[in-house]
């Protein structure tokens, strides 16, 4: 029943016009307190990713939505501070958080939050920035928390998130036994979970269902 409600809510909020969002904004669960999920936007800002953040909150999580643009250039320190602060969210349950990132935010989650097992239970990264990863084989050895990553085979947005790099990360993770799983979608481009011309009717619902299952698994541990 919870899955069905969240699924319906996801498509309802995607149909809504975009709203402004602060650089850091809490979206509480429908009732009571919930496990904390830190959602990090892409370069288009927190407002653009408010709908999927609301959909995640509807699953029963206390969502803290961050604008990735305010976190760059700090070598992960700003994200680290935000994650620590999120652990004290008034509507959140104490303990480790999960991190969900989109595009630039997904790249930040991969680069930094994946190395914080003392703070982070797991990561979901939609079409993350990967062009900054010079050596996939070396990179995956630093991944210390479970990561579920989604990539579109047709993604050419600013050449930041190309499928070749996603495939290289997947191969390196498999070879090293690193806890990073990559799911690719042949017809999807960038922002395929968002409404409009970028939306992919196969990739969006499938990735959302996988993300929901992954988040549930992270918080069962």
Please report the domains of the chain, with CATH numbers, ordered by start residue.
2-218 (3.40.50.1820)
- Write down the pTM of the prediction: 0.90
64-115 pLDDT per residue, tens: 999 999 999 999 999 999 999 999 999 999 999 999 999 999 999 999 999 9
Question: Pick from 60, 54, 55, 58: which is nearest to 25 by CA?
Answer: 54
For strands 97-102 and 36-40, give the pairing: parallel
Rounded CA gap, 40 and 62, in Å? 14
| Helix, strand, coil share of the chain (percent; to 5) | 40, 20, 40
One DSSP character per residue, 10-64 reads HHHHHTSPP----SEEEE--SSS-B-EEEEE--TT-GGGGHHHHHHHHHTT-EEE
Rounded CA gap, 107 and 113, in Å? 10
pLDDT at residue 172 in the model: 98
172-216 pLDDT per residue, tens: 999 999 999 999 999 999 999 999 999 999 999 999 999 999 999
- Give every strand in the sheet of 62-66, ordered side by side: 24-27, 62-66, 36-40, 97-102, 120-126, 147-152, 180-185
Rounded CA gap, 188 and 208, in Å? 14
Q: Which of 3-7, 57-61, 80-84, 158-162 has the least mean pLDDT?
A: 3-7
Confidence at 24, pLDDT banded by 50, 70, 90: confident
pLDDT at residue 114 in the model: 98
Rounded CA gap, 151 and 7, in Å? 21
């Amino acid at each position: 029943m919870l899955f069905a409600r969240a699924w319906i809510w996801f498509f309802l909020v995607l149909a809504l016009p975009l709203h402004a969002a602060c650089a850091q904004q809490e979206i509480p669960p429908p009732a009571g307190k919930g496990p904390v999920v830190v959602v990090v936007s892409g370069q288009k800002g927190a407002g653009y990713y408010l709908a999927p953040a609301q959909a995640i909150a509807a699953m029963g999580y206390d969502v803290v939505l961050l604008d990735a643009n305010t976190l760059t250039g700090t070598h992960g320190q700003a994200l680290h501070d935000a994650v620590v602060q999120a652990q004290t969210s008034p509507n959140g349950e104490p303990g480790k958080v999960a991190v969900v990132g989109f595009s630039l935010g997904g790249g930040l989650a991969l680069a930094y939050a994946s190395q914080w097992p003392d703070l982070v239970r797991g990561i979901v990264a939609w079409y993350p920035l990967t062009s900054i990863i010079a050596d996939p084989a070396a990179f995956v050895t630093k991944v210390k928390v479970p990561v579920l990553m989604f990539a579109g085979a047709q993604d050419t947005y600013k050449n930041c998130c190309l499928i070749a790099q996603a495939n290289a990360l997947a191969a390196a993770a498999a070879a090293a036994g690193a806890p990073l799983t990559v799911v690719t979608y042949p017809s999807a481009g960038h922002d395929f979970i968002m409404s409009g011309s970028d939306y992919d009717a196969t990739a969006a619902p499938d990735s959302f269902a996988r993300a929901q299952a992954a988040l549930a698994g992270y918080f069962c541990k």
